[in-house]
Amino acid sequence: MTSDDFLHELTDRAVDRWSARLLALSRAVHAEPETAFAEHRAVARVAELLEEAGFHVRRGVCDLPTALTATVGEGDLTVGICAEYDALPGVGHACGHNLIAAAGVGAAIGLAAVADRLGLRVKLLGTPAEEHGGGKVLMLERGAFDDVTVAMMVHPGPGDLTFGGDRTTAAARFEVVFRGRTAHSAKSPHEALNAGDAAVVAQVAVGLLRQQITSASRISGFVREAGQRTNMIPERAVLEYEVRAAGAEELGRLTERVLDCFRGAAMATGTAADIRRTQPDYLDLRQDPWLLGMYERHLKEFGRAAEPVPPGSVSASTDMGNVSHVVPSIHPHIGVLGCRATPHHAEFADEMTTPAADTALLDAARLLARTGVDLAGNAERREHYVRAHRWRLPGGGVVG
């Protein structure tokens, strides 16, 4: 048995010892879904388990009540593990963040078991509001990742995916409020400025624009408000939209074209359009090749295999993308084997507490911990990442 094999075994054993607690954490978070920036019970459960495991926990970091950091160990290398725990409105944990949270905690506990042997510092970051709000972006901007050498997390899905040749899409989200003037729809419609009409014109314009966008781009949205009674012309309409594109530059160009659809609709109907960004832009995810290679190696040892992703496939978006532009990162998908649903469907939430989900959770924790061991024990790669970290400025910039 090599020294790495021995250390891998130690991390696996640590995950095994805590497995019952990790599965209980996942189920408790799943049973009480909380949406963006309101994950108070979830983050409390994560904090309590990490404190019991000997981590130094700081709650409410970065001026975010449901964010936390937890650290253990000392060394020039800090492996960051990201844990998400926010749910989706209406469908609960249909993106499996209960599993992400527990797998992240398990990975951190696994690495903690070998931290002293490897001169390693482990930092778990509890990151709120991934679904909407960009918790990681805010934490990145406010310094939570400044001391992190590499960052890792795992996401559940129907199969094992590593996205070695592809990246997630960049995304922008915004709210548009059309302001007009109301009037009786039968007696004096000529006195009104119809905000509902502005919403219709805008949606038609966006629909026509879709013919001119790339295959990797997406535009989607809905009308949240557009009147209350048929005999009153609406003076206010509210829409929420998002734009996705392959990268930040293309996202910026496409977003401006979409916003012009709303500005033009206001001009055409005589209304005013107030446009507000509802979250920081999410950047495309950039997987670190070496770390991903180590993860994939262990994936095979666990009897799993990464499914091929066709080049150019359109993927979702994540605020982990912003982290990956600053910190070497990986964000693979762990397969809940036998799962027939896909994320963001109610049926997927039902799959997140099955025996297959439990297996995926514990495998994910072991895989991330083993990947951290590989890095800490490889002198050449360790120095590479540590040296790159030294040149990074506080707040995420780099020295040119």
Total Cβ atoms within 10 A of residue 87: 26
Model pLDDT for residues 259-271, shown as the tens digit of each residue: 999 999 999 999 9
pLDDT of amino acid 4: 86
* Mean pLDDT for the stretch of residues 178-186: 97
How far apart, in whole angstroms, are the C-alpha atoms of residue 30 and residue 82? 18
pLDDT of amino acid 400: 34
H-state helical runs in 270-319:
289-301
Q: DSSP letters of 308-333?
A: P--TT------THHHHHTTS-EE--E
Distances (CA, A) of 100 to 94, 350, 382: 12, 15, 26
Model pLDDT for residues 340-362, shown as the tens digit of each residue: 999 999 999 999 999 999 999 99
pLDDT of amino acid 322: 97
**How much of the chain exceeds pLDDT 70, in percent?**
96
pLDDT of amino acid 399: 39
* Mean pLDDT for the stretch of residues 266-285: 97
* pLDDT for residue 394 is more than 80: no
pLDDT of amino acid 393: 63
* pLDDT for residue 120 is more than 70: yes
Q: How many helices (H) and strands (E) does the chain have?
A: 13, 12
Model pLDDT for residues 35-58, shown as the tens digit of each residue: 999 999 999 999 999 999 999 999
- 3-state SS string for 187-249: CCHHHCECHHHHHHHHHHHHHHHHHHCCCCCEEEEEEEECCCCCCECCCEEEEEEEEEECCHH
Domains of the chain: 3-167+285-390 (3.40.630.10), 170-277 (3.30.70.360)
Distances (CA, A) of 62 to 30, 81, 126, 328: 25, 17, 11, 21
Model pLDDT for residues 52-95, shown as the tens digit of each residue: 999 999 999 999 999 999 999 999 999 999 999 999 999 999 99
| Confidence (pTM) | 0.94
Residue 397 — left, alpha, or beta (φ > 0 → left; ψ -120 to 50 → alpha)?
beta
Q: How far is CA 163 from the centre of its chain?
A: 15
Sheet holding 150-152, edge to edge: 56-59, 68-72, 120-126, 77-83, 150-152, 329-330
